[in-house]
Amino acid sequence: MEFVPKDPNFAARVRASFARQQVMQTLGVEMVGLHAGLIELTMLFASNFTQQHAFIHAGIIATP
């Protein structure tokens, strides 16, 4: 069964809300997909967000 949002303008509302989240801009997170019930985000690797073993820190991954 397909999810049908109550707000037919949900996409505009979600995009506006995402645009106001300055932490997403700081981390370089981009919205690459938005569908009813699903949002797809991407973030390029940045060494300044890594932990001591050169992996992206879990706190960064959990932020979006």
Q: Give me the CATH code for the 10-62 domain, please.
A: 3.10.129.10
Alpha-carbon distance of 54 to 63, in angstroms, equals 18
Model-level pTM? 0.80
Start-to-end C-alpha separation, the chain: 27
Domain borders along the chain are: 10-62
Which residues touch 64 (CB under 8 Å, ≥6 apart)? Answer: 24, 27, 29, 41, 43
Grade residue 1 by pLDDT with cuts at 50, 70 and 90.
Answer: confident
- Which letter does DSSP use for residue 57 in this model? P
Alpha-carbon distance of 18 to 40, in angstroms, equals 12
**pLDDT tens digits, residue range 13-64?**
999 999 999 999 999 999 999 999 899 999 999 999 999 999 999 999 898 7
Q: Is the pLDDT of residue 2 over 90?
A: no
pLDDT of res. 40: 96
